[in-house]
Amino acid sequence: MQYLANPTRFLKLANAVLPYIWVITIGLFAVGLYGALFTAPPDYQQGETVRIMFVHVPAAWMALFVYSTMALASAIALIFRHPLADAAAKVAAPIGAVFCFLSLATGSLWGKPMWGAWWVWDARLTSMFVLMLLYLGYMAIWAAIDEPHRAAMIARIVALVGFINVPIVKFSVDWWNSLHQPASVFRMGGPTIDKSMLWPLLVMGLAYTFLFVALHLVSIRAEIAARKIRQIHISEIGDR
């Protein structure tokens, strides 16, 4: 972790691994989408609409994963003063917000034929909507506060406090009555979903994960460059 605290070392590593990550990402999406669209059978109850699952479920997984990443990075920044931790958390937020929005949008499309409504205020949907607000609030802090150190401190607190919502989203279907079914993939007794649907879903989950890693590395590179430009501007102003 300390080795990557040096931006030059981080950039060198990121530039080296990014091409491979993009290739793996494209390959996983190709395999996952083929399985989702052509290999997986229609559901006996939901029919062809079940294919929304292969977009919706991985997006929901990633919305939780990315916010957890932000909270972890914020904790590292707060405890260890890691110089790139705040940058990692900051640039992860827009990516996570897109995953969260995609989860909500596809969930709405899926809910209409299944439940007869685009939206219901059940525990899972409500907690996911709160997660979306947390993403937007976190990004608003960085946009509204010009002083980077003050913005970083407030953003860390928001990310860490907001992390309370992550287990609420995860276990909402177990704690309260919900239209959503309980976990069918990651559960103690093993997956309950049929293998013909399980493998494309897991491959799509991996594809989303590698996509996040690629976008995250690119965004951190851009943030490092933006910080260097800001330092140059500050130096030029100081020299006048």
pTM here is 0.90
Give CA–CA dist 88/84, Å, rounded. 6
Please name which of 99, 119, 109 lies closest in space to residue 204, comparing C-alpha atoms.
Answer: 99
CA distances to 7, 47, 68, 216, 227 from 222, rounded to whole Å, are 12, 43, 22, 10, 9
pLDDT values of the chain reduced to their tens digit, one per residue, 240 residues: 555 667 888 899 999 999 999 999 999 999 999 999 999 888 767 778 889 999 999 999 999 999 999 999 999 999 988 879 999 999 999 999 999 999 999 988 887 777 777 778 888 899 999 999 999 999 999 999 989 999 999 999 999 999 999 999 988 877 777 666 666 666 656 666 778 889 999 999 999 999 999 999 999 999 999 988 887 777 767 656
Q: Residue 4 carries which side chain, given as an amino acid letter?
A: L
Give CA–CA dist 236/70, Å, rounded. 33
**Residue extents of the structural domains in the chain:** 16-180+194-239
